[in-house]
Chain A
Amino acid sequence: MSARTINLTLKIWRQRQGEKKGAFETFEARGISTDSSFLEMLDVVNENLTLSGREPVAFDHDCREGICGMCGAVVNGRAHGPEAGTTLCQLHMRHFQDGDTIAIEPFRARAFKVIKDLAVDRGAFDSIIQAGGFISVNTGSSPEANSTPVPQENAEAAMDAAACIGCGACVASCPNASAMLFLSAKVSQMALLPQGRPEAAKRVLGMLRKMDALGFGNCTNERECEADCPKEISIAHIARMNREFLKASFFSKEK
């Protein structure tokens, strides 16, 4: 943990609330500890902006330990920055060099409107989950937990999918702004578990139609989502969802 300090030039996207257009603004970040996280570096920039009478850069963040999914921006052309399997809050400045120029812009997609600066509205993800990303069990009506065994292998695969934090990096990095990885993580998790089977057909149809209606793009198997996903969720889950979709469309009674 031996820290150095570095100086950086930042090109940050600024967009006022309620406006459709924005532009890059350049800032100097001096004396940044390499032990800082990327967001802590932005904190320093914002403190200086505040003191100099300018408005700080708006960016979403919360847990700062890579699990809440609230943070995210496109840093030097990559969602959550250049490190694999890392959220922006967990990206540390030791991965940058003194004198680097860093471009920071919001996740961009028609379905993710920019609220202000780097903060975007990802409410579309909630809408997708509302369209079926759950098991319809009322509180109190559940059977004894061990009455339904789940093969360990399936539970593990379901957990791989369930690790999704809903950050939107998959959409941001997809050349088509598709939300298929997000969608498939939930569909796949539920499809792998016996508890999820009764509603499997209804779930996949509902969620996919919702995604289409919200203006996300179509998956063309470019695998960018998988490469930028901070939880490294595999596109094998997209294939499983496709399978579920075809099964539901052609062999279930759901219309």
Chain B
Amino acid sequence: MTLDSKVPGGPIEGKWRKHKAELKLVNPANKRKFTVIVVGTGLAGGSASASLAELGYNVKTFCIQDSPRRAHSIAAQGGINAAKNYPNDGDSVWRLFYDTVKGGDFRAREANVYRLAEVSNLIIDQCAAQGIPFAREYSGLLANRSFGGAQVSRTFYARGQTGQQLLLGAYGSLSRQIAAGKVTMFPRREMLDLVVVNGRARGIVVRNLVTGQMERHEAHAVVLATGGYGNVFFLSTNAMACNVTAAWRCHKKGAFFANPCFTQIHPTCIPVHGAFQSKLTLMSESLRNDGRVWVPKTKGDARKPKDIPESERDYYLERKYPSFGNLVPRDVASRNAKFMCDAGMGVGETGLAVYLDFADAIERDGKAVIEKKYGNLFAMYEKISGEDPYTTPMMIYPAIHYTMGGLWVDYDLMSTIPGLFVLGEANFSDHGANRLGASALMQGLADGYFVIPYTIGGYLAGGGLEPVSTDSAAFADAEKEAVARIEKLLSIGGKRTVDDFHKELGHLLWNDCGMGRTDAGLQNALDRIPAIRAEFWENVRVPGGRADFNQSLERAGRVADFLEFAELMVTDALARRESCGGHFNEAFQTPENEALRDDENFCHVAAWEYAGDKKAPVLHKEPLTFENVKLTQRSYK
């Protein structure tokens, strides 16, 4: 099978316009004859559900939490990018496109990124109209700030809760459609399988997490917006319920998984404190606008930060990257923190932390100004760490935050299974090998509000979608398989808990497939994962029953899938013989320790096809061509 990205021809500025004009339309009266399933209610799923329902489609929306408002998009803090150029500082659709392609270390599909930049402005309009309380200037007009490595101020924000506000906006629109009867909402449901009939995605099997009942749902198309797989590392900034299960089951039903090794490590998280830690907390990288990152110049300097004089501090980001300073992209900032800690300069009890110091900013702008900008973040830091960042520098360390890899999709956001569309973080998306700050919100909403409403119409209008019954063999088999798996998990009755396995896997991946990867480490992970998986299926203990609200069982299913997925992730990392963005193989670096790409051989999307339980996955390559942005070595000096 060859991968056809279906990118329209012509100059990049006109591709999306042309494509929209060429897409087939569904007659307004016929839209109500189509049912679309949307799995996930984050920015992508929530906005897609609302927009599709507004168009007249019948939508069935599923989420894992008790309410669609709780999806993990809600935790995004910093902001959302758009090329409005309100500050008159030289921004444009082109520059946003360029920055995103470059930020992604030239591993994203140009046409998709251009479209993303193009619709970014519409998102801001839409969200303002929804009543999102964006920050404003005294004039009452929208405020912008610069964010995460951008040299223009193009980030719109609502205090440190931009994700929450945007999600609640989409949730509001979704709620309106639920009230109107156009969306049927199914909360507390977990998708356990995709149902494919005649080669097309036609339904899903879900488990009702309250009653434990299995449910079958059919539709004309399935939209997957189930987020990323960062929790494969156990400790990440993802919410506890984030998982790869839905995407993985689709992968096993034929959807290719693209670039799974592209994982993002966020530089500003609160350091790990102990063995019982369940998750890591991100501090918005907007903090890097005013905070200065430093470590002591001397190895093992155990003095309190305030006792270390200026001359004995190493502001290493400012030293190494004079023009970007503390605002270098996430992968660069993260790697440098690891580099300093590995060299023994790390601070704190574990030595796995660097300082983020606001003393200069507070002296320059006054405490009140800093409090207004970051008050909630400082309060959160103090709650977690018990230290006051106004007087003591924060301690930060990188943590897994976002996954750029995901199910492969074409320009229409359709996977390799016809009728299965994948949006937001769940697809391999527009971020290449590294995502820039404030662009995840942009992508989720672009996909949901402004891409899928057009492209799904083109698919549905194409015809060939005969009625299917949930009583058919395809549904029955999918359910039977899911039930068998659940029964198996409950029957093992071993000696180790689900979390115990999850931690073991996470620890392995963090060490061997984390910030700095080596061939030996990756090989070690590849050897260990099947062993952990085998033990899991023999020795895991899942208490409780099937027909119950059983959170251990939920986690067990997810960890079982992580144990399969992890192998693919490591395989992908090993196959990519270069470093790029979030994928840093220590064998491939410049003399200045920057990621060294191999454009000759690896300027492609690695899309993996599932070949069977005992068989190695099959690699398909989608070549990436850069007609508009010149391939260069990223430099933030």
Contact = CB atoms under 8 A, between A and B. Distances in A.
Whether the complex brings A and B within 8 Å at their CB atoms is answered yes
Given A55-B543, A58-B549, A43 B278 contact: yes
Interface in B359-404: 379-380, 383-387, 395
Given A3-B274, A50-B552, A159-B158, A129 B349 contact: no
Closest 6 CB pairs of A and B: A149-B140, A134-B172, A142-B129, A145-B128, A159-B133, A158-B133
B140 A68 contact: no
Contacts of A17: 210-211, 548-549
A104 interface: no
Contacts, number: 235
Nearest to A64: B279
Interface in A124-153: 125-126, 129-131, 133-146, 148-152
Interface stretch (A33-41, A170-178, A215-223, A241-249): A33-41
Contacts of B129: 135, 137, 141-143, 145, 195
B299 interface: no
Contact of A70 (B65, B380, B453): B65
B66 A44 contact: no
Nearest to B348: A1
Contacts of B450: 139-140
Given A56-B552, A66-B380, A148 B240 contact: no
A155 B210 contact: no
B545 to A, nearest CB: 9
Contacts of B65: 62, 68, 70
Contacts of A122: 66-67
B131 interface: yes
Contacts of A158: 131, 133
Given A58-B549, A62-B70, 7 more contacts: A35-B274, A62-B72, A129-B69, A139-B450, A140-B450, A163-B159, A193-B131
27 contacts: A1-B348, A1-B386, A1-B387, A1-B395, A33-B273, A40-B276, A50-B541, A63-B75, A64-B278, A66-B380, A67-B164, A83-B383, A121-B66, A129-B172, A134-B175, A139-B54, A140-B126, A142-B122, A146-B84, A148-B128, A155-B135, A158-B133, A162-B132, A162-B168, A189-B133, A193-B133, A195-B130
Nearest to A165: B164
Contacts of B138: 152
Contacts of A82: none
Contacts of B69: 69, 126, 129, 166
Contacts of B387: 1
Interface string B130-165: 111111111111100000000000000011010011
Interface string B23-56: 0000000000000000000000001001100100
Contacts of A49: 543
Given A125-B67, A139-B453, A119 B549 contact: yes
Interface in B162-201: 164-165, 168, 171-173, 175-176, 178-179, 185, 187
Contacts of A152: 136-138, 140
A68 B66 contact: no
Interface in B445-474: 449-450, 453
B68 interface: yes
A110 B387 CA distance: 40
A247 to B, nearest CB: 18
Given A131-B179, A145-B142, A65 B380 contact: yes
Given A56-B543, A61-B240, A130 B178 contact: yes
B239 interface: yes
A58 B551 contact: yes
Interface in A11-29: 17
A255 interface: no
Contacts of B541: 50-51
Given A1-B386, A35-B274, A139-B173, A68 B131 contact: no
A68 B278 contact: no
A141 B51 CA distance: 11
Contacts of A135: 129-131, 172
Contacts of B548: 17, 116
Contacts of B134: 155
Contacts of A37: 278, 384
B128 A63 contact: no
Contacts of B139: 149
A184 interface: no
Contact of A142 (B75, B128, B137, B384): B128
Nearest to B350: A1
Contact of B54 (A39, A60, A138): A138
Contacts of B159: 159, 163
B172 A68 contact: no
Given A35-B273, A115-B210, A137-B173, A64 B240 contact: yes
A94 interface: yes
B516 to A, nearest CB: 25
Contact of B133 (A3, A53, A134, A155): A155
Nearest to A59: B551
Interface string B60-104: 000001111110101100000000101000000000000000000
Interface in A60-116: 60-70, 83, 85-86, 90, 92, 94, 115-116
Nearest to A148: B128
A170 B138 CA distance: 33
B175 A129 contact: yes
A123 B239 contact: no
B68 to A, nearest CB: 7
A251 B131 CA distance: 24
A164 to B, nearest CB: 9
A20 B74 CA distance: 33
A145 B84 contact: yes
B66 A65 contact: no
A195 B131 contact: yes
B625 interface: no
Contacts of A61: 240
B125 interface: yes
B465 to A, nearest CB: 24
B122 A163 contact: no
A47 interface: yes
Residue among A150, A151, A189 with max Cβ neighbours from chain B (10 Å) = A150
A141 B130 CA distance: 11
Contacts of A125: 67
Contacts of A195: 128-131
Given A53-B543, A61-B240, A146-B142, A137 B130 contact: yes
Residue among A49, A64, A148 with max Cβ neighbours from chain B (10 Å) = A64
B146 to A, nearest CB: 19
Given A44-B276, A119-B549, A62 B240 contact: yes
B66 A142 contact: no
Given A51-B497, A134-B175, A189-B131, A115 B549 contact: yes
Residue among B127, B133, B141 with max Cβ neighbours from chain A (10 Å) = B133
A49 to B, nearest CB: 8
Nearest to A167: B70
A190 B129 CA distance: 11
Contacts of A193: 131, 133
A162 B522 CA distance: 45
Nearest to B449: A139
A131 B302 CA distance: 58
A137 B554 CA distance: 37
A122 to B, nearest CB: 6
B88 to A, nearest CB: 13
A85 to B, nearest CB: 7
Contact of A67 (B74, B84, B130, B179): B74
B277 interface: yes
A125 B26 CA distance: 35
Nearest to A62: B239
Residue among B122, B159, B281, B383 with max Cβ neighbours from chain A (10 Å) = B383
Contact of A54 (B54, B178, B543): B543
B383 A90 contact: yes
